[in-house]
Amino acid sequence: MGTIYDQIGGSIKNWWLSLLLGIVFVGVGIWLLCRPTEGYIAFSVIFSITVLVSGIAEILFAITNRHVSSWGWYLVSGIIDIIIGIILISRPMFTEEIIPFIIAFWLMFRGFSSIGYAIDLRRYGTREWGWYLAFGILSIICSLFILWRPLIGAFYVVYMIAFTFLIIGFFRIMLSFELQNLHRKGVSDKRD
């Protein structure tokens, strides 16, 4: 019986989308840490756009990697991100009022998605899958903190969101390198 890696033939496509998403998440996280006073209002707009772009990238990745056993989770994740992004962009005042809750639940979903990706990487034989699992768990913990104290103020939310974005960004960057390694392995296996 072959491994899942054997089933997909090592042909991971568009691995660089995860790298781009990671860079976006890290960039937003750093910006929030550097400008917390301006962050809350601007963040509602930036967050809305980031969620929408993330959804588009997730759907593109899912469609181009339908041979991966969990491609449906990537697709569902992308669809949910697009729906949330459209709602947030179309109602900016509403977004500012409820953004801590939206962000907490969105980050929680992303954390659970990250755990799912970690389990997939374990099946593919990646040795560092535990790090990816840890990033997913950290995202969930950060989302729970936001839900626990949403009224402490914009600064708390902005800093918690910044740290969570950094965690998710580093996860996506690390994931992109693992996907790239699987892609290279698949390309070299096909040449042999």
> In this structure, is residue 25 part of a structural domain?
yes
The domain in which residue 44 lies consists of 12-187
SS3 category, 72 = helix
pLDDT digits (tens, 9 = 90+) for 105-121: 888 888 998 898 889 88
- In the chain, the largest separation of any two C-alpha atoms, in whole Å, equals 59
> In this structure, is residue 4 part of a structural domain?
no
pLDDT over 90 (residue 153): no
Split into its structural domains, the chain has a count of: 1
> In this structure, is residue 45 part of a structural domain?
yes
> In this structure, is residue 1 part of a structural domain?
no
pLDDT of residue 4: 47
**Stronger pLDDT, 9 or 26, i.e. the higher one:** 26
- Closest of 105, 100, 111, 61 to residue 83, by C-alpha: 105
pTM as predicted? 0.51
Tokens matching residue 159:
């800093």
- Split at pLDDT 50, 70, 90, the class of 68 is confident
> In this structure, is residue 6 part of a structural domain?
no
> In this structure, is residue 2 part of a structural domain?
no
pLDDT over 50 (residue 103): yes
> In this structure, is residue 7 part of a structural domain?
no
pLDDT over 80 (residue 43): no
> In this structure, is residue 104 part of a structural domain?
yes
Q: Count, in order, helices (H) and strands (E) of the chain.
A: 7, 0
